[in-house]
Amino acid sequence: MRADRDEAESAQQVAKLLGQLLRSDGFPRWLVASALDALVADASESLAELSGGQFALTHEGGEFLVIDHADADARRPVKTLSGGETFQASLALALALSAQMAGLAAEGAAHLESIFLDEGFGTLDEANLDVVASTLENLATRGDRMVGVVTHVPALAERVPVRFAVTRDQRTSRVTREAP
């Protein structure tokens, strides 16, 4: 009888949880929270790679926080990151969002297989620029998505295998492919 009672209590708890989740406001909230958890987990992995293991991401109360492993795992708002660190966190989130969007595409629908990064590279010091460039090169070798980079930073442009230069004069713009 105890086993039957325990089983019934367990089933009742599952039913209660499902009832809460399937209420008109519960299910969308749960869905959004689950998507945010997955986004932050994926972005945290990328940020750890980009930051040499120094940072991870989390969220709390609708805010993104950084976990600084170099500061005894202190949690602090992402607003406290330097320019280069902010760029790394933004790139990590963009890559995670791109991966999630590709996974959410319906059968037969267009897939998001590319991401364009427009500037922000000027905020990086030489070491961080090298880490970001290496990460972008690794993404390119995986072959699962195209990463377009818009940059004026020569050190980064030189590492992009296929380059297009945009020039303009007073009346028009021209795009030309540059040999690697």
Per-residue pLDDT 10s for the chain (180 aa) are 899 999 999 999 988 887 776 776 767 777 788 889 999 999 999 899 888 899 999 999 889 999 999 999 999 999 999 877 888 898 889 888 877 876 666 666 666 677 788 867 887 888 888 887 887 777 777 776 778 888 888 888 888 888 898 899 999 999 999 876
pLDDT of residue 6: 92
Residue 63 DSSP SS3: strand
Residue 149 DSSP SS3: strand
C-alpha 28/C-alpha 22 separation (Å) is: 9
Residue 74 DSSP SS3: strand
On whether the CB atoms of residues 72 and 63 are closer than 8 A, the answer is no
Quote the pTM value. Answer: 0.69
Residue 43 DSSP SS3: helix
Of 152, 46, 158, the residue nearest 97 (C-alpha): 46
pLDDT of residue 77: 94
**Extended beta strands in 17-135, E state:** 55-60, 63-68, 74-77, 114-118
pLDDT of residue 95: 84
Token pair 């296929």 is found at 162
C-alpha 85/C-alpha 132 separation (Å) is: 11
